[in-house]
Amino acid sequence: ARQDYIRNFSIIAHIDHGKSTLADRLIESTGMLTKREMEQQVLDSMDLEKERGITIKLKAVRLIYQAQDGHEYTFNLIDTPGHVDFSYEVSRSMAACEGALLVVDATQGVEAQTLANVYLALDEDLEILPILNKIDLPSQRCDEVVQEIEDIIGLPAADAPRVSAKTGLNIDQVLEAIVRDIPAPNGDEDAPLKALIFDSNYDSYKGVICYVRIFDGQVKVGDTIQMMNTKKSFEVVEVGVNANGHIPLDQLRAGDVGYITASIKEVRDAQVGDTITLKNRPTDKPLKGYKKVSPMVYCGIYPAEGEEYTEIRDALEKLKVNDAALDFEAETSAALGFGFRCGFLGLLHMEIIQERLEREFDLNLITTTPSVIYHVMTTDHELLEIQNPSNLPDPSEIEYMEEPIVRAEIMTPTDYVGAIMELCQNRRGVFIDMQYLEETRAQITYDLPLNEVIYDFFDALKSKTRGYASFDYDLKGYQQSDLVKMDILINQQVVDAFSLIVHRDKAYERGRKICERLTDAIPRHQFAVPIQAAIGSKIIARETIRALRKDVLSKCYGGDISRKKKLLEKQKEGKKRMRSIGNVDIPQEAFLSVLKYD
Ligand code: GDP
Ligand code: MG
């Protein structure tokens, strides 16, 4: 049957283990795209992604493979994002597949995201094919890594292909293993349409492009489709597959992976995880697993001096069209004026959006201290969800507060176990478990308050383990906690953009550090500037930025004219990212410095 010659699979790996490089080799060796047509890293198309070395948006590509059995096979390779912030998208792209290639760097072995991805793949009942990569490197230790895969993951790996995605060595073994070991799809072409949206993005000509896996039935141009969870209907304009660009086809059928366009205006109307069916012949049940993605981390985004509020709104609207997880609404800050409260999946998502706003839209922004969502039970027994510390009710009206807790898995060489436990303990972590995976590697499990994870936890972990530890987390639930709102006063004025919610035991230390940092980040003025941290009316920390001495300025006069010019230019450059609050100039770095913990 037709479907016997289709293989749908994705590639999963810990970051940097070679997923993109292997994808490139598969694309190249199936001859779907010629070398010339193929830019380095076809799948990672966004510039930002290239620089960060991570795949943010997943896509599918169709390959044609002439197998040793003499048949021509259609491979649909579905790329998945590689970061915990995007784990829902990973799970939906896996749901579109029958199998997954598990790439393990033979010099590094199994790491946190290797395992996290394997668990996701097992949840979707995928056939998993381990592949050992980077065997061209002298430091490869294939035999040990095979043992690790068998012991830690429980997959037979003795016969796993040992390849170099870089040089192309043994890639043919991977291609044959895909044909041999990954099951063919077996949908019912005559049943009502049942298609999974595993990705969508916005194209200014075609509207939203839905990347789909057809499980049952067929879809063609002119059909009226319906999104089963959002209930919206659209008329199909184009269907096709992704090979070298979009290739329009007459129809897509059960087993196929391809795209559908239907003049859809926003990705919100074609959400990842939703099921597409035909309006006049619907399937009885949607595919399982649909979840509305919701933000976990919030921050305020405000214009730097001289920037336009409306330009930020236009830019956010454009990004939102293509990002169902990005949330924003207008808010006002006493210190910063008009701006936006934005919600993100996690800190990486937040950084990516900020960077895109600054680079693609050329905006200068001030971002306020990020916050998680707190649950607040008022004395009137009303449950509030608070994601902006400024909206916290007066302490006298609060019965109790709860904060989100994540379960974190950290994989590390055993040398760093002590340092990691100290770090987690410092961040109010609760030790759950530790297992030795082999003599030199351990997996440590902690429950951590998300509010402690969002302050440079990744950076701290990296620096304490020289980059050797890896980290993955899942939201576990909410827990009652002794939390207080801390305000920062600059020149006697509360700057709401700096306000944050902290655990009472941590308040003094955090307050002191923030004051010290602001003292470094804010330039000296003609007058002394006091910086204070306060809980309610109680000052818990204080620093002072001393006044500028007059003769510092006069040094620039008279002498070297080019030096004076440089200084002025530097000041102008700095000005762009300043906000004056009261009569104090606060540069953008000051807002960022609050994020740093240690
Ligand atoms: P991803 O994060 O899993 O997509 O990893 P990449 O494919 O981007 O690869 C990460 C780094 O490892 C890049 O610098 C690649 O050039 C390198 N790399 C990938 N495969 C191999 C390999 O087989 N041998 C060697 N020596 N380097 C490799
Ligand atoms: Mg990659």
Tell me the per-residue pLDDT of 303-331, one tens digit each, with 9 for 90 and over: 887 678 899 999 999 888 878 788 999 99
- Whether 383 lines ligand 1, by a CB cut-off of 6 Å, is no
For ligand 1, atom 2: residue with the closest CA = 16
Evaluate whether 482 touches 462 at the Cβ level (below 8 Å).
Answer: no
Angstrom distance (rounded) from CA 296 to CA 385: 12
Q: How far is CA 370 from the centre of its chain?
A: 15
Angstrom distance (rounded) from CA 208 to CA 265: 6
**Does the annotation flag 133 for ligand binding?**
yes
The ligand with the least distance to the CA atom of 132 is 1
- Whether 184 lines ligand 1, by a CB cut-off of 6 Å, is no
587's CB contacts (< 8 A; 6+ apart) are 521, 522, 523, 574, 577, 578
E strands in 123-232: 127-133, 194-203, 207-216, 218-220, 224-227
Residue 51's pLDDT is 41
Residue 474's pLDDT is 83
289: left (phi over 0), alpha (psi -120 to 50) or beta: left
Range 118-144 burial, b when 16+ CB lie within 10 A, else e: bebbeebebebbbbbbbbeeeebebee
Residue 139's pLDDT is 96
Residues in the chain: 598
ipTM higher than the 0.90 cut? yes
- Whether 134 lines ligand 1, by a CB cut-off of 6 Å, is yes
Which amino acid appears at position 370 of this protein?
P
pLDDT in tens, 39-83: 544 554 444 444 433 333 437 888 989 899 999 899 999 987 656
Residue 131's pLDDT is 98
The ligand with the least distance to the CA atom of 19 is 1
With tokens 């890639």, the residue in question is 171
Q: Where are the alpha helices (DSSP H) in 59-170?
A: 87-95, 112-123, 142-148
Residue 165's pLDDT is 97
Residue 346's pLDDT is 82
Residue 152's pLDDT is 86
For ligand 1, atom 10: residue with the closest CA = 16
Task: Name the token pair of 544.
Answer: 């002072």
- Give distance in angstroms: CA of 44 to centre of ligand 2: 7
Out of 11, 14, 15, 21, give the residue to mutate to test ligand 1, the one with the largest number of ligand atoms within 8 Å of its CB: 21
Residue 53's pLDDT is 39
DSSP letter at 14 equals S
DSSP letter at 169 equals B
Which of 300, 343, 287, 360 is closest to 48 using CA atoms? 360
- Whether 133 lines ligand 1, by a CB cut-off of 6 Å, is yes
Burial class (CB in 10 A: 0-12, 13-18, 19+), 190: exposed
- Give distance in angstroms: CA of 367 to centre of ligand 1: 34
Task: Please work out, in degrees rounded to the nearest 5, the angle formed at the alpha carbon of residue 292 by the alpha carbons of 290 and 295.
Answer: 145
Out of 11, 12, 16, 57, give the residue to mutate to test ligand 1, the one with the largest number of ligand atoms within 8 Å of its CB: 16
Stated pTM of the model? 0.77
- Give distance in angstroms: CA of 39 to centre of ligand 2: 14
β-bridge pairing 99-105 and 127-133? parallel
Angstrom distance (rounded) from CA 292 to CA 92: 12
Residue 364's pLDDT is 87
Write out the H or E segment, with its range, that includes residue 578: strand 578-581
Angstrom distance (rounded) from CA 533 to CA 494: 9
Low-confidence ranges of the chain (pLDDT < 50): 33-38, 40-41, 44-58, 556, 574-575
Angstrom distance (rounded) from CA 433 to CA 25: 40
484: left (phi over 0), alpha (psi -120 to 50) or beta: beta
Residue 49's pLDDT is 42
Neighbours of ion ligand 2 (CB under 5 A): 20, 55
**Does the annotation flag 136 for ligand binding?**
yes
Query: Percentage of the chain surpassing pLDDT 90?
Result: 57
